[in-house]
Structure 1
Amino acid sequence: MRLSELELSNQYASLGEPFGQFIQPKPFEHPHLVHINPAGAALLGLNPGRDSAQTWAEYGCGARLFRGSRPFAMKYAGHQFGVYNPELGDGRGLLLGEARGIHGERWDLHLKGAGKTPYSRFGDGRAVLRSTIREYLCSEAMHALGIASTRALCIIGSDEPVVREKIESGAMLIRLARTHIRFGHFEHFFYTGQHEALEQLVHFTCAEQLPQTADLSVAEKAAAILEMAMKRSARLVAQWQAAGFAHGVLNTDNMSIIGDTFDYGPYGFLDDYEPGFICNHSDHTGRYAFERQPGVVLWNLNALGHALSGLLTREAIVETLQRFEPLLVQHYSGLMRARLGFEQPGADDDRLCAQLLKLLEDASADYPAFFRRLSRYSPGEGAPAFSDLFGAEQQAPLADWLQRYDTRLKAEPRPDAERQQAMLRTNPKFILRNFLAQRVIDAAEGGDFAPLDRFMSLLQAPFDEHSGNDEWAALPGTAQKHLPISCSS
């Protein structure tokens, strides 16, 4: 299918003025195609080869609109670093409309960097090449790791200067999402006393995401939304913690109601295992540090529950949210057992995992590299395969842990070779480390998009060996481990 044949609907925009405003994008004067994501195009049934690079550039920057599109800036609010901010909304992006994917699934198309909207406040409504590349890479990397995420269709570049910490090149990205409804949408209508609009949003969300609730009352639908958000958020944050992913800015306006990873900005994957890792250089108190993410997500769910408190009893909200922690622990334990190669639960698995994490923390050992090497480990091999990840003082504790691990592996029903193959499909070789993302960005800012194309293909199949690409699986040097990443990313 060509871009001109893709037809969008506007169900969310049809909700009317309280939900946002219709705004035309501001196209670039001289757009150029940076990259097309074939996997994203396939979701919509698009064939990238059927349109020219110029046609992609025009659709991707809003110079041409998809059939049926009515660009709409969504209004929402949210708690930012724990403080309620009513002045939020789509300040640099527009909902172009909704499409049906090749399997009948729903996809929002959202144009990021499309220019000023009524919610831009003091911003210019633009995105930069750096930030679009970071979102583009990470949304696809997360999907390939099996973590719920928005997706990406394409990046369009320009020669338009945009001022951030420095002058950068403007760019746009078309984000694909199963929904763009955030916790902050519900907060906006609650705090402004727009109760009818809040009920309208509840009905809309259930019609799109929970069709089985069609015959329920609005209160029952609100309960179903909170239940869905709680369950999916518990699973999501467990996946983040197991994968070593730090989001960086977990405000309620960055929380998807369906539990997808949403709004990629100052994120970071762990290099050394550092529970207190802060990836956002604006996070001066460490509110969104890696180890605090589960607690912050629960805090955000409480904020969502409060926004629904006009429809739900306090007891119903508390009862739902009390199940968050047990679900989180259940998901996380299962994910870490898989990373360790345990097919069946063992009585001391959680303790063995906790001992390993403490060992990795004490040694400042590389988190993804350790698990990838562990995937090839056979009982009795001892510590040599990991020796370069641990200092001299940690060699004895490492050997002790490996002895306990050997004992645990004896209880596994699978042969070693089968276990190792399963672990290699669980512990990735290629990780979107910040220093590698910066390498791609530096090349792209110089007009070389080949590294972007190469790294994207590796991140979309991160468990494969990809012979000849080991430079993209290299460990960072000391100076590359704590690159300053800002919210403007």
Structure 2
Amino acid sequence: MTSSPQPPIRTIADFLADPVAAADFPETKLRFRNDRAAASVGLDHLSDAEWVTAFGRFQPLADNLPQPLALRYHGHQFRSYNPDLGDGRGFTFAQLRDGHGRWLDLGTKGSGQTPYSRFGDGRLTLKGGMREILATEMLEALGVNTSKSFSLIETGEALQRGDEPSPTRSSVLVRLSHGHIRIGSFQRLSALNLTEEMARLTHYVVEHLYGEPADDEPALQLLEQVVRRTARLAASYMAAGFVHGVLNSDNINITGESFDYGPWRFTPFWDPEFTAAYFDHQGLYAFGRQAQAIHWDVVQLAIALTKLASIEALAPILDAFPQIYEEAYSRAMMARLGVHPLGEAEDLALVQAIERGLGTRTVGIDRFFFDWSSGRRRPSPYDATYAEHFGEVEMRLARYQPARTTDHPYWSDAEPCSMHIEEVEAIWSAIDTSDDWSLLHNKVAAIRRMGEAHQWPN
């Protein structure tokens, strides 16, 4: 698992990206390194000094990209088309293969200004970097396909922000992601009538990110994959109780991997109207509307792909999204419960019973899944609530077989591992006021312990 002498993104960089340089930061203090993720791409051997040189000073990795690439894209933001986008504070730094042969990107956030920064400073607050670590670690532990927070380095600049106390500390984040090609990447090529370039990008995604040989209709091949992958992503958000916050088309990865965490939240209760972004006044990306939002974004991809395929061929693929989502949602809920599915009708009935019980908001989402792990209710402070509101759930679950054991010590804890806004703020407060990183590192360890207990398949 080493870097490749020919990162494939170089074959499409002429129309996809611009070479850029990283900012020269006043200082580089290593705050977080993800050795678990680093091991997957053969970089866990780096010393801390070598790590900072690579991911704080951005000296190129051996036999990799000679210069970072800021990607170009357009996108719909809250349903309004914006052609004035692109990597404004990040870039693709390197491409590596993991142990499964997949191409992965090392991309940045807060690495400095690019041609797409517009009026932004190209920086990332330290709090923003910390929040992305927590989001990605929690989502991974809950079985969601997500980018990995790879590195966080404090950079010694005082940043001014209008939506939080300023000046505030700065950082540069590196994420390990299964590509950074977005729906907005295709929208840009369509808007500019770059049809030949869109065909090249389509082949790139199919061959290098999906690992498939391109067939006679690669645009259809691509849309089929995106529909399936993004429907599964939306389903996994629901089972995790997660609200992304900004599901714009420039934030939807063509691989179906969740990434780019700004105003995210985990909803404490099953509340379809719960929103993560204070500026989402209409609730467009509320908890219960995420599948609809992602489907709308995929429609925009299909519109762009009409440059390469007929609408008559694209439409049936697109129309399959709701059914694929419903099936994926039931599977995701069964997986978080830790039971083997019984069948489409039985699983749907169980999911609906769970939704009705959780919809009473008498018990939190994390507490419910913790107490009912492997399909059998354990003694809990919420026994009276379960008796009153979850009788149908218990009746239906009696027919299911466990898909995991409950012998991991986590299942004997008094409380489930959760990630709600109050704890996020407490972790940041310790860093901000006392430079105390112990709460963050302890939380990451606790999250990973929970993930081990869930026994997700590799």
TM-score by length of 1: 0.83
Aligned amino acid, residue 55 of structure 1:
E
Query: How is 1:396-411 mapped onto 2 (pairs within 5 angstroms)?
Result: 398-411=386-399
Q: Are positions 1:375 and 2:373 aligned together?
A: yes
For residue 417 of structure 2, the aligned residue among 420, 430, 449 is 430
CA deviations over 1:402-421 (Å, ceiling 9, x no partner): 4333433443456xx97766
CA distance in 1, matches of 2:88, 2:363: 40
CA distance in 1, matches of 2:188, 2:431: 38
* Identity across the alignment (%): 30
CA deviations over 1:174-223 (Å, ceiling 9, x no partner): 11111110000000000111112111211221221244334x33xx1111
- CA distance change for structure 1 residues 434 and 221 in 2, over 3 Å: closer, same or farther? same
- CA distance change for structure 1 residues 262 and 352 in 2, over 3 Å: closer, same or farther? same
For residue 225 of structure 2, the aligned residue among 223, 228, 243 is 228
CA distance in 2, matches of 1:313, 1:132: 42
SS at match of 2:53: helix
CA distance in 2, matches of 1:8, 1:47: 19
- CA distance change for structure 1 residues 441 and 410 in 2, over 3 Å: closer, same or farther? closer
SS at match of 1:330: helix
Q: Are positions 1:272 and 2:260 aligned together?
A: no
For residue 335 of structure 1, the aligned residue among 332, 351, 376 is 332
- CA shift for structure 1 position 401: 4.3
SS at match of 1:88: coil
Structure 1 unaligned blocks of 5 or more: 466-489
CA distance in 2, matches of 1:158, 1:142: 26
Hey, what does 1:444 align to over in structure 2? 431
Aligned amino acid, residue 369 of structure 1:
R
Q: Are positions 1:248 and 2:245 aligned together?
A: yes
CA distance in 1, matches of 2:9, 2:347: 46
Hey, what does 2:141 align to over in structure 1? 144
- CA shift for structure 1 position 459: 1.5
CA contact under 8 A between 2:74 and 2:188: conserved in structure 1? yes
- CA shift for structure 1 position 332: 1.1
TM-score by length of 2: 0.89
For residue 314 of structure 1, the aligned residue among 304, 311, 314 is 311
- CA distance change for structure 1 residues 111 and 404 in 2, over 3 Å: closer, same or farther? closer
Hey, what does 2:76 align to over in structure 1? 79
Hey, what does 2:296 align to over in structure 1? 299
CA distance in 1, matches of 2:253, 2:102: 17
Hey, what does 2:456 align to over in structure 1? none
Hey, what does 1:64 align to over in structure 2? 59
- CA distance change for structure 1 residues 56 and 191 in 2, over 3 Å: closer, same or farther? same
CA distance in 2, matches of 1:429, 1:184: 38
CA contact under 8 A between 1:80 and 1:251: conserved in structure 2? yes
CA distance in 1, matches of 2:240, 2:93: 32
CA distance in 1, matches of 2:108, 2:376: 49
CA deviations over 1:360-413 (Å, ceiling 9, x no partner): 22335311112212238857x89x6415xx8xxxx5xx4254433343344345
- CA distance change for structure 1 residues 338 and 14 in 2, over 3 Å: closer, same or farther? closer
- CA shift for structure 1 position 463: 4.6
CA distance in 1, matches of 2:102, 2:293: 30
CA deviations over 1:252-295 (Å, ceiling 9, x no partner): 00000010001111111111221110011111111000000011
CA deviations over 1:25-71 (Å, ceiling 9, x no partner): 113121111111111111121235x51x3432232223533223321
- CA distance change for structure 1 residues 12 and 354 in 2, over 3 Å: closer, same or farther? same
- CA distance change for structure 1 residues 8 and 431 in 2, over 3 Å: closer, same or farther? farther
SS at match of 1:249: coil
SS at match of 1:89: coil
Aligned amino acid, residue 421 of structure 2:
N
CA distance in 2, matches of 1:407, 1:354: 13
CA distance in 1, matches of 2:58, 2:405: 52
Aligned amino acid, residue 462 of structure 1:
M
Hey, what does 1:478 align to over in structure 2? none
CA distance in 2, matches of 1:272, 1:47: 38
Hey, what does 2:158 align to over in structure 1? 161
CA distance in 2, matches of 1:172, 1:248: 22
- CA distance change for structure 1 residues 127 and 72 in 2, over 3 Å: closer, same or farther? same
CA distance in 1, matches of 2:149, 2:96: 14
Query: How is 1:113-262 mapped onto 2 (pairs within 5 angstroms)?
Result: 113-164=110-161, 165=163, 166-214=166-214, 216-217=215-216, 220-262=217-259
CA distance in 2, matches of 1:334, 1:323: 17
SS at match of 1:169: strand
CA distance in 1, matches of 2:450, 2:261: 19
CA distance in 2, matches of 1:8, 1:24: 20
CA RMSD of aligned residues (A): 2.8
Q: How many aligned residue pairs are there? A: 444
